[in-house]
Each structure stands twice: as structure tokens, then as C-alpha cells.
Amino acid sequence: MSDSLDDLHPRVKAWIADHKNRQKEREQENKRRRHERWWSPRLVPDLTERDQYRFQITSEIFKGVEKAGGRIEKSPLTGRVTFQISGHEVECSIVEKLVKSLKDRDEIRKWTAYPDHYQSGLESPGFLRVSIPTYLDGRQPQWIETQKTKIGDLLPNIIGTIIAAGPVLEQKKREREEAAKRYREEEARRCEAKQLDTVLAAEFGDAVLAAQIFKDDAALLLGRTAA
């Protein structure tokens, strides 16, 4: 994996370009309002090492998925992306592992250029967490970086799992469709059986009625003969 930001995936490059534009816009706003009495100049901080590292890992995952035939459906800056694999959406979270911090608020916010994207009071210990929230055979795969195990070393497994999710979801789709088909067929059989019972009941009812009429007529005839 290259340490350079020049070889990033176009979608990740767009995040960096957007960040630079925000910095320029904020600088221009500060200049325009510098004479306003209550204006407090604020700057958009530069990308930190953690931001750049997450961008590099995300870029490698994007490239690997596309090379294997997948497609990027959604790619928000937050890292909660969606891929299109074999016609199925596969969610993937590429984010910082966060822990509670005892530092003051201003100090905590320094680890990233996007502090507003994260819950207050949390900071990164220096590790990434990649997960697939989409259920695959009842599980949600997850990879957490440690001092000994770097996400970069896990990329082949991560990308392979993302790509393999397509056939898994396709199989689940077929199973659901087959189950739905069996249910419809069973309902149709039950409906046919019910209709047959209704017809038989009607026919049986008519036979009983005819027998009763015959019985009544016979009794009436016998009565007249006796008279």
C-alpha cells in the first residue's frame, strides 16, 4: 500500500478536494468578517495522520472491490459505504475504532479534521475497524486492527469477503423465493380443497333436501289414499 495520497481512488480524492475547498471557503469567510466585532475566526484543520490513513485503506478496498468486479454504490466521507456485488447491496463500514477519552474537549478533537463526525468524548487509539453490517449466513464479519495486526495485511481477506457476499446473498434470495413459492402452492392447494368441500357440501345438502321432499310427498300421498 502506497503512503502517497496521489494514487488514491477517485472517490477518495474527491473527499480530499472537498476538504481543501472547505478550508478555502472558511479562510475567505474569516477575511470578509474580520472587522465584525463578535466574529471569532475559525479554521478548518488540515487532515491528520489518522484521516489520511483511513483514506488510504478505504482507497485500497475500493480499488480491490472494483478490480474483482464489484461496484461502489455509495461512498460517504464517514466511511459507511455500500457496494453492489452480483446485483446485491453489501454494506461496509471502514471507520476508526473509538474509545472513551479523559482528555478535555479541545484536545480530543485534534486527532481528526472531522471532529463533528464523531461522538463527543471519544477518540481513536490509532486503530481501524472494518465490518460488514449486512448479514451473511447469520453473521456480520468484522476486522479490528491491533498493534500486531494491521488492516493493510487483512485487505485480501476483507475484499474477498465483500466479493463473496454477492453469491451468498443471491443464494439467500433464491431460498426466500423458493420458500415463498412453496407457501403459495400450499395456499392454492388449501384453497382448492376448501372449494371442493364447499361444492360437496352443497351437493350433499341438495340430496338431503330432495330426500326430505320425497318423504313428505310420499306421506301426503299415503294420507290421501287412506282417506
- 204, pLDDT greater than 90: no
- 2, pLDDT greater than 70: no
Predicted TM-score (pTM) of this structure: 0.76
- 205, pLDDT greater than 70: no
User: How many residues appear in the chain?
Assistant: 227
- 193, pLDDT greater than 60: yes
Task: Work out the pLDDT band at 220, boundaries 50, 70, 90.
Answer: low
10: Cα separation from own chain's centroid: 23
Identify the DSSP state of 44.
P
Whole-number pLDDT of residue 183: 85
Whole-number pLDDT of residue 199: 62
**Percent over 90 (pLDDT), the chain:** 46
What is the grid cell recorded at 22?
472547505
For range 87-96, the mean pLDDT: 94
Q: Which of 140, 113, 132 lies closest to 26, judged by CA?
A: 113
Query: Which residues lie below 8 Å from residue 88, measured CB to CB, with a gap of 6+?
Result: 165, 166, 169, 170, 173
Whole-number pLDDT of residue 207: 59
Whole-number pLDDT of residue 110: 86
For range 164-172, the mean pLDDT: 84
